[in-house]
């Protein structure tokens, strides 16, 4: 097929449709709205379900109902809207049914702004909702990758009866890039055995997240944990750049990783032996890959568009073996390649330490920003 | 090789579309390209801008701090983006809006009376094409023909009849030659 | 004692759509009556295999244990949204929510109003027992002025705690609603009328005539601190005057339904 | 002469709420003071002749614990209950 | 003053009132409801504001409005209800105003059950809401400590214009213990300068969480981060038991820590040199204290009523210096002292490792639980 | 041209309660008119130093930049809850929310219904412009049947997207409401009537007579894709018939207010 | 003879929406085609005699950009505007 | 020294109050004590229970897996908790509800016809006091007087007139002596 120039939000919407999406429920919010608007036009013309819900709270619960029928279903939103979905997400996780959530992050906290940010990493990766549950989290860094991971998210969600989240920032949602869409998949005709779809010729199916008896709840929690072990074993994804001979390694996801790539290239041009690891699955997180790297490298640099959220996961993976430094821009500012290049140079110049917390050193460096 | 262009003006001046045309053209030319708009309530304020990055390799940031070229379609944009231009960069000014003196002396610039030319061509909406022509004449990253192909392919059906006029506007703008700003 | 009848006939027995499970409801709680009526209607309309129930959060949270057909369970107040998701995905199934007054009229107000406004083709069984039963008898939006509850220990003071919400009346202002009525469960006559209304509500959905809701005045002996029979009397004397029984919205199409 | 009927109370469900007792027009129901169910309730039972099989007790029973029988002759009429 | 036998929920409510609470907004949810019911009786009789909100969403936004006036204000809820408050909490954090939240955790995810659990640690400690913000989190393990930390939470919230959370599980909320209440404090008469209270004789005050300009949002984020550095410097609290000569150390908070204490005592009786560290501030977390311990001990055991949430913070603090093992009961089950004792014995017998993840070893041990 | 007048008098100028800031609203947007009217009323009643405004999320999110008194800013739809928190804590202050139709009638439905039911003594200025302006013109609960929006590209189909909600009519069923009316901003006469209603609403609050709301039909030239003057006409011809202007609830006490 | 008045348009606020122009009963308002404000709008202005100071333009102006003056004599009457 | 007692029965049998009385008494005696009820929708099912832990040092878990004593006021409770009793522990059974044979042979138990005694005393609601008396007679962790003090202090005003009856009930129950269950 041929490449088209597409906006991230619209590419994701069309990719989901071609992946066999049967129902979409959402609520407008910048910088995600084009996704909903695309669905508003396409889903009805394909005879599929589309509802502009009265709120994100309603949207996630419409998805909950729809997912209980075994259909491919999804919603999308951005930071404040996601916060309103967390009760529902926790219920869905506890009910062990598949669904896809697209989160196009913006600047926060609060109403904040609509500029690109990655400050909801913890919310999505470390369980913003109540209770012990995990969601598969995929982080694209381009329009093409947004398409590919959207399609993948539906397969993973169903394979593991799990929530799958496509997590990106506003810049990817708003950006146009040439990309290629997959072919249209037919809608799945058969329903999973657990689906609530009318008990024709079978015992009734009940889908709920209640286990009033704590030992049954414990069983459910353990089942979820063990399923997660499988996911960790099978689904970790990441991309490495210039790693062969790297003595320094930058770690960044999504847009931050993408921008870091420019900086790494520039640093390589200066002869600095630096590589880049870009996690694609933020959950499960490429712990072993980073652990291995930490054994081979002098120092690492984590670059994010938040105040050091993935940073802690990287530090956990390195287990104190390697110094990890940190750089970030916050509140909707994307780091620029030259800023990261400066950080890489400083790293190569030996400015790193195992003592104290890298966030504090970064904050000190940020004194005269803006 | 990578080139970054920022186009800014009032909403309604066709800023975003001008940028998209470059993106389509670049894609058709087999180049890597990103286009990203300013989005959201800024609309309300009335100003709009977009950034186009054209490159031969995988593009990093779609947003740019120091663009190599800027098209300023109105006064606020000129004031806002003159400073950010890369030294030696190209500034294309819509002269219809401002004759005011530039602060930078390390850039090339060209002032084109976009509105006047457009109105003279008989359609005020051609202003963006005039300035785009002016940009490409002085920063030859894409042949005018590529833009024309993109126009033909992406101009909304209801505007297709304006195709020739758009071509004319591009050409007229391309007649303006930039020079380095002197003291 | 045991009565002997020659060639007797069974004229009534427990409906098929109820499972063989004793409920966890308190003795006399009319949640049980409402369950039975819904089950009888589903039986009579032959809808058991097509029906998907949506349980809410309240004493009836375990409704799915008592109805013998597919069920899902919604977060507190969100049953109408969840039902929307089910119905939009499976338009040919019969979808109903079973919600209490705290669930539907307090935390779930947004979802019920919009389900009705959208004319969502679902049925809502709304149990108004003038308090939050499951959590131990706090004030509900439906608690009567002056009513003592664990969160209005000196009685509901309308000045600071507001006035009871009449959900049926309010929702009837929405054009998407096809059938909205209020009935009561305090005596055999009213129970029979309640069943007829539930039947009409499901017929409304089967015919695709839009949103339907039956509000049922119900007792909560445990938290009202009365015996079941005293409670029935309190309902009749105190609740019915404030929540008048009747039909609040019956679209012309629904009016034509003959049962 | 009145219709003849009888009822059976399923003690798995009955919670001794007395609603049937209060509702029975023939006043032939009462709770069994001597017996308690596994759940600890005194179940309802017929205590006298005169049940007409009218079904009112079943109409009010919150626990669908009651089954109603009528003598065939009359039952034929089949007043749908409830 | 004299000790009274009090239920945790009611003791917290009365403690807040005596700390000068001016307004309470809440919604019933087990196992927290007695707190609201206490407020329903006491606040009106003291002429203070009490509203039973229509939902947790409304409650947190009532608190938001009330906090904007500079008043001492609070709400309380339990797991699912807290999930509904996260958007509001993020706004409040972004607006930099003080408030107190009491979270009486129950079993999850989803509707789960109402039994005691600690599975919302990540939600509360690592930011369940969107954007970069942090809340001060205090974790009592008894009714008396619940009272003391509730009073403290108001002072800290105001000192740092921050959210302060009192985080406990259902068992502490429901349990009765003898405890002593503080004296009734008078209500503060003066309003903070930033309060929205009517612009009498001053310029108007505007309170919002919006910074449309990303660089202003970044400034706000940096300001929050730097304030947090202060909090880390001043407010870390924890309690140590039997640490002098401890070669093994158990770490647990709240009820888990309390139960662990019984086990540690029993182990000591067996002559096992084991100590207990019970974090009282979960945020800021006693990182340095744990780092120090990790330098001096053979192995550590983290005990929680969740699937290993605080565990990661402990592992981060130990930076790979010391093996950390893990034990937990889930879904509303409280671990019993004898179970923890068994774990301590196993630790003392040398069953610990730096390899792999302690959670996976625990899951393996949980195979035939229940 | 400049006109000369001998000893002229200034008979009207920009109200004091507005700051010297140009708004970010699109040319002709009647959000500006609504702002001006509120400011004039606050001036005339001398309430500037007592008033606390609650901004919502919508094009008017920055209202706090334009009003010269204390302001707070609520999450999308939650302004009535936030206003409740302010008013309960400072009962002697004047508290009003300024909300759009998406904010109040869609995501904020639960909060507005309960604020009205509680008889919360606050004032709500409700801007009904039949779409979500700020996010670029999606369908709102108030969008007219058949109305084309970015999320109803083929026009609002009432079968799948539901029917417009008439908020004033719906909220008027609640006993806590003291004053609920609908006005329009499409011509000088109606603007004057709108101002009178806003005055009455604030008087209602000053006198402690309960919840007051003024729904204002307003234009959104940008997303309607019309000029401001065309928009005024569309409002009058299309919106007014569907959203009849009038008084929907005026409690007897409020009826006595003389302005 | 008609009331005499005049208006002043504050160009910091005026967005050239033309609502005043359309509303003015005396038709003495128009947008200044030759001038644009810093925000890029053609501001409204008086283009002819005959302004009565009726205030209608101020009533419709969304940006509170208009100030109204009247000749003292008549203004004394003080019809509150708007 | 630490003692754990579990009291279980139907809601309405005064299970929770009986436990609270022990807690009050223990507090007044200067002991450490915790009381924790079963809570929530279990109420609906009709059963209720509470656990009281009395100790001389800081108490760990307020919940107990193997209590040292159990009062079973109804059949379901007996079935549920007999198994959990600590070997050598004390089981106080409300004989009014069940004569059924015990499975455990490693415990002490006493069957007291609580309801009958209470009704004989003229008030069915005294059953919990009778069984509490029975417990304390056979597990002397607290003097009956301490319970009586607690009763006087915490019996709701409207029931104060029943104080003497409560005392009687306690004493009557205390007359029953537990013995180790034989085969
Ligand atoms: C988000 C959330 N908030 C609160 C609760 C606690 N809760 C459970 S049931 C209930 C009230 C139920 O009352 P109602 O809907 O009237 O049902 P009833 O028990 O009276 O039949 C509440 C507040 C919850 N489970 N989830
Ligand atoms: C929780 C949440 N959801 C969605 C949004 C995005 N959003 C901002 S404004 C708006 C709609 C505003 O429409 P309306 O209330 O009608 O105001 P208008 O702009 O039309 O005046 C939406 C959906 C948000 N900011 N927060
Ligand atoms: S608490 Fe009330 S509503 Fe709930 S089951 Fe008991 S009686 Fe019924
Ligand atoms: S009504 Fe039903 S449950 Fe109640 S006593 Fe009669 S048979 Fe038993
Ligand atoms: S069937 Fe009628 S007569 Fe017979 S017991 Fe029931 S109510 Fe009484
Ligand atoms: S988008 Fe519409 S509502 Fe918003 S400012 Fe512009 S015209 Fe007004
Ligand atoms: S109405 Fe106001 S803003 Fe519009 S043109 Fe006239 S003066 Fe300018
Ligand atoms: S005051 Fe009246 S006459 Fe004068 S310009 Fe304004 S509208 Fe026209
Ligand atoms: Mg209820
Ligand atoms: Mg709107």
Whether residue B35 and residue A171 make contact (CB cut-off 8 A), yes or no, is no
* Whole-number Cα distances in Å, E143 to A83, E3, E180, F129, H53: 32, 11, 9, 53, 15
Mark E347-357 as b/e (b = at least 16 C-beta within 10 Å): bbeeebeeeeb
Residue C33's contacts (CB-CB under 8 Å, 6 or more residues apart) are: C185, C191, C194, C218, D60, D61, D62
pLDDT, tens only, F181-205: 999 999 999 999 999 999 999 999 9
Has residue E149 got a pLDDT over 60? Answer: yes
Among C110, C163, C174, the residue with its CB nearest the CB of F174 is C163
Pick the closest to residue E179 from H32, H29, H21, H16 (CA basis): H32
pLDDT at D1: 46
Read off the pLDDT band of F85 (50, 70, 90): very high
Q: Pull the structure tokens for residue H13.
A: 């049998």
Size (chain D), residues = 82
> pTM for this one?
0.97
Give the residues of chain C that fall short of pLDDT 50: none
pLDDT, tens only, E267-276: 999 999 999 9
Among E87, E200, E205, the residue with its CB nearest the CB of F75 is E87
Percentage of chain F modeled with pLDDT above 90? 97
> Is F233 within 8 Å of chain A by CB?
no
pLDDT at H79: 87
Question: At what angle are helices E33-45 and E8-18 packed, to 10 degrees?
Answer: 30
Read off the pLDDT band of E25 (50, 70, 90): very high
Q: Pull the structure tokens for residue A101.
A: 């959530």
Mean pLDDT of E138-151: 98
In this structure, which residue's CA is closest to atom 6 in ligand 7? G20
Residue C34: is it exposed, middle or buried by C-beta count within 10 angstroms (0-12/13-18/19+)? buried
Read off the pLDDT band of E368 (50, 70, 90): low
CA distance F218 to chain C (A): 22
* Whole-number Cα distances in Å, E197 to F50, F52, F75: 8, 7, 19
> Is H11 within 8 Å of chain D by CB?
no
According to DSSP, the residues that pair with F180 across neighbouring strands are: F213, F249
Prediction ipTM score: 0.97
Q: Pull the structure tokens for residue C17.
A: 């759509």
Give the integer Cα–Cα distance in Å for G22 and C248: 46
* CB C219 within 8 Å of CB C235: yes
Read off the pLDDT band of E370 (50, 70, 90): very low
Touching F (3+ Cβ pairs <8 A), the chains are A, B, C, E, G
Residue G47's contacts (CB-CB under 8 Å, 6 or more residues apart) are: F1, G28, G29, G30
Upper half-sphere CA count for residue C160 (Cβ side, 13 Å) = 22
Among F109, F120, F175, the residue with its CB nearest the CB of C113 is F109
Interface of B with A in 46-105 (CB under 8 A): 57-65
Query: What's chain C's average pLDDT?
Result: 97
Give the integer Cα–Cα distance in Å for E355 and C92: 55
Chain H residue numbers with beta carbons less than 8 Å from the beta carbon of E260 are 60
Has residue A370 got a pLDDT over 50? Answer: no
Read off the pLDDT band of D2 (50, 70, 90): low
Strands B2-10 and B69-72: parallel
* Whole-number Cα distances in Å, G58 to E196, F7, G64: 31, 21, 7
* Touching, C vs D (3+ Cβ pairs under 8 A): yes
Mean pLDDT of H79-104: 88
Give the integer Cα–Cα distance in Å for E300 and E323: 6
pLDDT at H45: 55
* CB A224 within 8 Å of CB A93: yes
Query: What is the enclosing helix (H) or strand (E) of C83?
Result: helix C79-89
Has residue H110 got a pLDDT over 90? Answer: yes
pLDDT at G34: 87
Q: Pull the structure tokens for residue B176.
A: 């303006």
Decide which of B35 and E127 is more confident: B35
Q: Pull the structure tokens for residue B34.
A: 């990103």
Give the integer Cα–Cα distance in Å for C126 and C184: 11
Give the integer Cα–Cα distance in Å for A28 and A42: 16
Whether residue C110 and residue A54 make contact (CB cut-off 8 A), yes or no, is yes
Among the ranges given (B118-122, C167-171, G25-29), the one the predictor scored with the smallest mean pLDDT:
B118-122
Read off the pLDDT band of H102 (50, 70, 90): confident
Has residue F119 got a pLDDT over 70? Answer: yes
Per-residue HEC secondary structure of E217-228 comes to: HHHHHHHHHHHH
pLDDT at C186: 98
Residue H159's contacts (CB-CB under 8 Å, 6 or more residues apart) are: none
Strands B2-10 and A281-283: unpaired
Query: What's chain H's average pLDDT?
Result: 90
Query: What's chain E's average pLDDT?
Result: 97
Whether residue A176 and residue B36 make contact (CB cut-off 8 A), yes or no, is yes
Closest ligand relative to C30 C-alpha: 3
Among H27, H39, H40, the residue with its CB nearest the CB of E178 is H27
**Binding-site residues, ligand 3, Cβ < 6 A:** C 25-26, 29, 31, 59, 129, 133-134, 220-223; H 44
pLDDT, tens only, E256-268: 999 999 999 999 9
pLDDT, tens only, A311-369: 999 999 999 999 999 999 999 999 999 999 999 999 999 999 999 999 999 999 998 66
Residues of B with CB under 8 A from a CB of F: 41, 43-46
Give the integer Cα–Cα distance in Å for B168 and C165: 67
Give the integer Cα–Cα distance in Å for F34 and E195: 26
In this structure, which residue's CA is closest to atom 3 in ligand 7? G14
Q: Which atom of ligand 2 is the closest one to the Cα of F60? A: 21
Has residue A226 got a pLDDT over 80? Answer: yes
> Is H75 within 8 Å of chain D by CB?
yes
CA distance H129 to chain C (A): 23
Mean pLDDT of G39-54: 93
Pick the closest to residue F95 from F114, F67, F117, F57 (CA basis): F67
Chain H residue numbers with beta carbons less than 8 Å from the beta carbon of E337 are 60-61
Provide the H-helix boundaries in A22-161.
33-45, 56-68, 79-83, 86-95, 121-125, 143-159
Pick the closest to residue E258 from E352, E148, E139, E153 (CA basis): E139
* Whole-number Cα distances in Å, H163 to H21, H25, H143, H147, H160: 13, 16, 17, 11, 5
> Is E177 within 8 Å of chain H by CB?
yes
């Amino acid at each position: 097929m041929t490449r088209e120039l597409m906006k991230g939000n619209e590419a994701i919407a069309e990719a989901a449709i071609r992946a066999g999406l049967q129902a979409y429920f959402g609520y407008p919010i910048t910088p995600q709205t084009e996704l909903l608007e695309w669905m508003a036009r396409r889903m009805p013309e394909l005879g599929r379900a589309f509802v502009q819900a009265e709120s994100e709270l309603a949207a996630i619960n419409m998805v909950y109902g729809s997912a209980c029928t075994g259909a491919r279903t999804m919603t999308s939103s951005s930071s404040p809207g996601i916060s309103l979905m967390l009760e529902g997400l926790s219920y869905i996780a506890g009910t062990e049914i598949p669904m896809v959530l697209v989160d196009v992050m913006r600047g926060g906290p609060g109403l904040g702004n609509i500029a690109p940010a990655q400050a909801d990493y913890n919310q999505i990766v470390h369980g913003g909702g109540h209770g012990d549950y995990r969601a598969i989290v995929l982080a694209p860094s381009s329009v093409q990758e947004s398409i590919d991971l959207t399609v993948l998210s539906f397969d993973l969600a169903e394979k593991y009866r799990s929530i799958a989240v496509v997590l990106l920032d506003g810049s990817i949602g708003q950006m146009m890039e040439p990309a290629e869409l997959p072919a249209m998949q037919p809608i799945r005709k058969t329903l999973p055995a657990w689906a609530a779809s009318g008990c024709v010729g079978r015992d009734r199916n009940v889908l709920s997240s209640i286990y009033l008896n704590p030992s049954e709840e414990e069983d459910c929690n353990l089942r979820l944990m063990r399923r997660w072990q499988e996911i960790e074993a099978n689904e970790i994804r990441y991309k490495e750049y210039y790693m062969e001979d790297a003595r320094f390694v930058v770690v960044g996801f999504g847009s931050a990783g993408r921008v870091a790539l420019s900086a790494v290239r520039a640093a390589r041009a200066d002869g600095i032996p630096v590589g880049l690891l870009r996690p694609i699955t933020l959950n499960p997180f490429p712990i072993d890959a980073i652990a291995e790297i930490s054994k081979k490298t002098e120092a690492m640099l984590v670059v994010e568009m938040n105040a050091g959220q993935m940073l802690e996961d990287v530090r956990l993976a390195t287990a104190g073996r390697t110094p990890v430094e940190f750089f970030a821009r916050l509140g909707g500012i994307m780091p620029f390649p030259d800023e990261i290049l400066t950080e890489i140079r400083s790293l190569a110049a030996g400015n790193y330490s195992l003592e104290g917390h890298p966030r504090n050193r970064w904050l000190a460096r940020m004194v005269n920003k803006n | 090789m990578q080139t970054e262009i920022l186009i800014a003006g009032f909403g309604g001046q066709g800023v975003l579309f001008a940028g998209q045309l470059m993106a389509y053209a670049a894609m058709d030319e087999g180049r890597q390209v990103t286009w990203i708009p300013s989005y959201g309530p800024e609309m309300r304020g009335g100003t709009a801008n977009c950034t186009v990055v054209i490159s031969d390799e995988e593009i990093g940031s779609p947003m740019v701090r120091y663009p190599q070229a800027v098209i300023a379609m109105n006064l606020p944009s000129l004031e806002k983006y003159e400073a950010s231009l890369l030294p030696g960069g190209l500034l294309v000014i819509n002269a219809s809006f401002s004759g005011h003196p530039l602060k930078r002396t390390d850039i090339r610039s060209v002032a084109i009376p976009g509105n006047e030319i457009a109105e003279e061509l008989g359609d005020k909406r051609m202003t963006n094409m005039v300035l785009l022509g002016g940009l490409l004449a002085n920063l030859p990253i894409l042949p005018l023909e590529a833009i024309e192909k993109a126009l033909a392919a992406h101009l909304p059906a209801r505007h297709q009849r304006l195709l020739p006029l758009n071509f004319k506007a591009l050409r007229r703008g391309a007649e303006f030659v930039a020079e380095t700003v002197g003291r | 004692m045991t009565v002997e009848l020659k060639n007797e006939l069974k004229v009534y027995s427990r409906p098929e759509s109820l499972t063989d499970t004793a409920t966890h409801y308190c003795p006399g709680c009319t949640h049980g009556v409402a369950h039975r009526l819904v089950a009888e209607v589903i039986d009579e309309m032959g809808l058991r295999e097509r029906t998907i129930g949506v349980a809410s959060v309240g004493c009836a949270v375990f409704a799915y244990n008592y109805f013998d057909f597919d069920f899902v369970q919604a977060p507190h107040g969100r049953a109408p949204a969840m039902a929307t998701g089910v119905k939009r995905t499976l338009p040919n199934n019969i979808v109903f929510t079973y919600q209490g007054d705290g669930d539907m009229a307090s935390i779930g107000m947004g979802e019920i109003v919009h389900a009705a406004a959208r004319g969502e083709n679902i049925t809502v069984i709304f149990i108004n027992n003038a308090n939050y039963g499951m959590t131990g008898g706090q004030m509900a939006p439906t608690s009567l002025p002056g009513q003592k509850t664990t969160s209005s220990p000196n009685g509901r003071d309308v000045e600071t705690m507001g006035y009871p919400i009449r959900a049926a009346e309010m929702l009837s202002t929405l054009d998407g609603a096809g059938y909205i009525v209020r009935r009561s469960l305090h005596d055999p006559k009213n129970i029979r009328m309640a069943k007829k209304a539930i039947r009409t509500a499901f017929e409304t959905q089967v015919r695709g005539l839009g949103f339907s809701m039956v509000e049922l005045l119900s007792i909560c002996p445990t938290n009202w601190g009365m015996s079941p029979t005293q409670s029935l009397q309190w309902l009749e004397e105190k609740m019915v005057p404030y929540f008048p029984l009747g039909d609040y919205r019956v679209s012309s199409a629904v009016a034509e339904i003959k049962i | 002469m009145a219709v003849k009927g009888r009822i059976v109370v399923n003690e798995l469900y009955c919670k001794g709420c007395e609603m049937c007792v209060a509702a029975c027009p023939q006043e032939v129901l009462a709770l069994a003071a001597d017996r308690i169910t596994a759940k600890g309730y005194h179940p309802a039972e017929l205590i006298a002749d005169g049940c007409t099989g009218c079904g009112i007790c079943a109409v009010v029973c919150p626990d669908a614990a009651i089954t109603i029988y009528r003598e065939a002759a009359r039952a034929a009429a089949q007043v749908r209950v409830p």
